[in-house]
Structure formats: C-alpha cells, structure tokens
C-alpha cells in the first residue's frame, strides 16, 4: 500500500504542477488567438484550470500531501511547443489551428494523468478523492471534445 500511496502522491504533485504551468501559459494564448470561438475556449480553459488546481490543493490537504512541488518535465515540453508555434507562424487561422492542436496535446496529457491518479485512488479505496478526480476527468474529456469540434469547424471554414 505504501508504494501505491507514493505513486499517488507523485501523480498528484505532477498534476498540480501541470495545472500551475498551464494556468501561466494560457493567458499568452489569448494574445495570439484570433478566432472569437477560440478565445472563448481559452478563457474557459483558464477558469477550469484554476478550479482544477484548487481541487488538487484540497485533495492534498485531505490526504496530507504537499502537492506544490517543482516537477513537470512533460508539460514543460508541451508548453515549449506552443512557444515554438508563436515564433513560427503568423497570427491568423493557421495560428488558431496550431493553438487548438497544442491545447489538445495538453488536454490528452491531462486526461492520461488524471486517469492514472483515479486508478490509484480506486485501488487505495479513497472514494472522496476518486469522486473529485472523476469530475475533473469528465471536464477534461468535455474540453477535448470541444476542441475537436472547434478544430473541425475551423478547418472546414478555412477550406471554403
């Protein structure tokens, strides 16, 4: 059980750090995005990410885990890709397509990370935390679907 608890602790720390880094990166996306719907999506991500970060703080308190640690090599790499995008493409529809693609990369990482944390909490029978993680995971699935629909519509609009 101790090893599983240690894995959960590391996963929660990774998630918290990821949410923090994402929260810092999202406002810059607002400067590069042009499409109004994409701006709405990014603003929604900012609100959700903040809420998810607060949830992780509550989980950390509940489990007596310090979640605020420096980590996040994977998410840092994904966020660096976004900065490369800003440098390589002009603002406009192609930049918007690139931004939504990078948002989905981040979202897929989060889905995987939250699914893993949820498996750990279920194995440890920590029902209260499982419920919170499931809520966040469902939000991540919804956000990913929203990005997919948006990208499809944006590409269709581009090809008209």
What per-residue confidence (pLDDT) applies to 158? 64
Which residue bears the tokens 């956000």? 143
What are the tens digits of pLDDT across the range 130-152? 999 999 999 999 999 999 999 88
What are the tens digits of pLDDT across the range 46-67? 999 999 999 999 999 999 999 9
* CATH number for the domain whose boundaries are 2-158: 1.20.1260.10
What per-residue confidence (pLDDT) applies to 77? 86
Task: Take residue 55 and report the two structure tokens written for it.
Answer: 């949830």
Instruction: Return the closest-CA partner of residue 10 out of 74, 81, 77.
Output: 74
Q: Is the per-residue pLDDT at 93 higher than 90?
A: no
What are the tens digits of pLDDT across the range 23-42? 999 999 999 999 999 999 99
What are the tens digits of pLDDT across the range 116-133? 999 999 999 999 999 999
To the nearest 10°, report the CA torsion of 74, 78, 83, 87. Answer: 120
State mean pLDDT over 64-74. 84
Instruction: Say how many Å lie between the first and final Cα of the chain, rounded.
Output: 57
Which residue bears the tokens 């923090």? 20
Determine contact, residues 100/45, Cβ cutoff 8 Å: no
3-state secondary structure of 31: helix
Percent of the chain with pLDDT strictly greater than 70: 97
């Amino acid at each position: 059980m101790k090893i599983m608890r240690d894995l959960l602790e590391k996963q929660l720390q990774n998630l918290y750090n990821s949410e923090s880094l994402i929260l810092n990166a999202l406002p810059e996306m607002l400067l590069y995005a042009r499409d109004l719907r994409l701006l709405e999506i990014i603003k929604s991500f900012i609100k959700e990410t903040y809420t998810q970060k607060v949830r992780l703080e509550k989980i950390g308190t509940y489990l007596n885990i310090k979640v605020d640690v420096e980590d996040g090599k994977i998410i840092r790499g994904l966020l660096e890709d976004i900065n490369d995008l800003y440098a390589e493409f002009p603002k406009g529809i192609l930049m918007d397509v690139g931004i939504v693609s990078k948002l989905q990369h981040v979202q897929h990482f989060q889905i995987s990370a939250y699914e893993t944390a949820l498996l750990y909490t279920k194995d440890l029978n920590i029902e209260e935390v499982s419920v919170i993680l499931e809520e966040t995971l469902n939000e991540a699935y919804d956000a990913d679907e929203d990005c997919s629909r948006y990208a499809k519509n944006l590409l269709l609009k581009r090809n008209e």
